[in-house]
Amino acid sequence: MIEDDFYATLKLKTGEEIFAKVAATEEDDRTLLLVTNPIIVTEIKGRSGVMGYKMEPWLKTTTEDMFIINIDDVLTMTESSDIEMISMYQTYCRESDKTRNNQAKISRKMGYLANVNDAKEILEKLFKNS
């Protein structure tokens, strides 16, 4: 049975600290965490101290947004009720979904497409005429 989702910070035994929407489930006498859109939050510091936060995906080489983590791999976990952090996380998730769904595909509407030889010929003519 899957418990209700909640926002949490997880410290993994590997030393990684992630923030995500989490749901816990029991399977074969072990607890698994379903982690949605896990991110790493890094403080951006300036001369006057912390200026903001940088959010980036936990795993950068995948397009998946849900992961399963065994509770045995978690050092500690704390539920977050920080409205500002949750709001930043939700904004990050919306923006990354937009980026993933709107990736541009090359088409003739974007401009003239040519092979290298044709483009070279056209550019040489433009150069000679200028």
Per-residue pLDDT, averaged over 35-42, amounts to: 94
> For residue 108, what pLDDT band results from cuts at 50, 70 and 90?
low
57 Cβ contact list (under 8 Å, min separation 6): 37, 38, 39, 40, 96
CATH number of 1-84: 2.30.30.100
Q: Are 114 and 122 in contact (CB under 8 A)?
A: yes
Query: Rounded CA gap, 15 and 113, in Å?
Result: 48
The letter for the amino acid at 103 is: Q
> How many Å apart are CA 71 and CA 33, to the nearest integer?
6
Give the other-Cβ count within 10 Å of 95's Cβ. 11
The pTM of the full predicted model, rounded to 2 decimals, is 0.69
Q: How confident is the model at residue 129 (pLDDT cuts 50, 70, 90)?
A: confident
SS3 111: coil
Beta bridge partners of 78: 9
Q: Is 63 exposed, middle or buried (0-12, 13-18, 19+ CB in 10 A)?
A: exposed
Domain boundaries in the chain?
Answer: 1-84
- For residue 109, pLDDT over 80 is answered with no
User: Is pLDDT above 80 for 125?
Assistant: yes
Average pLDDT score over residue span 65-93: 93
Banded pLDDT at 81 (limits 50, 70, 90): very high
What average pLDDT does the segment 14-40 reach?
Answer: 93
Tell me the C-alpha distance between 120 and 130, whole Å.
15
> What is residue 102's predicted lDDT score, i.e. its pLDDT?
59
